[in-house]
Amino acid sequence: MNYAIKDACDVFLLERSTRKPRLYSDYANSTNLAFTSERTFARAKGVNKIAFDSNREGTFNIEFEVFDLAWISILLGATDEKETRGLIKREVLTLGVTKNATLTEAPKVGSLAVFTVDRDNRTHIAEQTATTDYEITTTELTFTSLAEGDKIVVYYMVDSAAPVRTFRIKSDKFAGNYIIVGKTEIKNEFGELEFVELEITNCTPKSNMEISFSTDGVTNVSAEFDLLADENNEMAIMSIIE
């Protein structure tokens, strides 16, 4: 029987020590299983006569453009927690009649930076110094060195109003081991759909990840796992459900 495949696998990612599901992906654009090995030849009269194969290695690669943020912590061994964080704010303000301007939030102590700004609202002209050029009361700035209608740009830090999802990526922490179960459909030459279940019994993600923030195209995220031999010296099990 001949078969054809035209679909990516739906992927179940399980923690290897407990088989507890960590993540489910039904949004991959491609999934790819690959194996390599080393081959040494015994030669006779300069011709290869006997082949010795060894050191099989395998990889499983998933590529997607729509993805769960949990992949960040999985691939990089990062923590994934909710915590209050300091967030930077930027505002362009025009001074009023009393040479004052009002911030939308109260800045954290020592975080406020103020500049006069050019008409493009980006280019700094001159930095304004607290007490010398202005006074601040909570969110109100009052200037002595500027005039009504002058524009300023302000930068400052505020604490997030609610805990934000935070990934902490450390230099000495890496990903653990997982089991991957992939499911997809195959079609035989009679047009009948059958199902494939692929189990990778022991694997760990490569600690390589690139996320591009670009206006030119959608970010493509790639998750690549190195396959390891398990306690039965197995690397993968493929089952055809007829």
- How much is the average pLDDT of 93-111? 95
Q: 198 pLDDT band (50/70/90 cuts)?
A: very high
Please tell me whether residues 8 and 35 are part of one structural domain: yes
Q: How many domains does the chain have?
A: 2
Query: Does position 236 have pLDDT exceeding 80, yes or no?
Result: yes
Q: Are strands 134-137 and 10-15 parallel, antiparallel or unpaired?
A: unpaired
Please tell me whether residues 8 and 53 are part of one structural domain: yes
Please tell me whether residues 93 and 69 are part of one structural domain: no
Domain with residue 44: its CATH number is 2.30.110
Q: 226 pLDDT band (50/70/90 cuts)?
A: very high
Give whole-number Cα distances, 35 to 53, 55, 186, 214, in Å: 13, 10, 21, 33
Q: 214 pLDDT band (50/70/90 cuts)?
A: confident
- How much is the average pLDDT of 23-49? 96
Please tell me whether residues 186 and 229 are part of one structural domain: yes
Give whole-number Cα distances, 226 to 3, 192, 217, in Å: 27, 33, 28
- The domain of 106 spans 88-159
Task: Residue 109: name the closest of 84, 133, 130 by CA.
Answer: 130
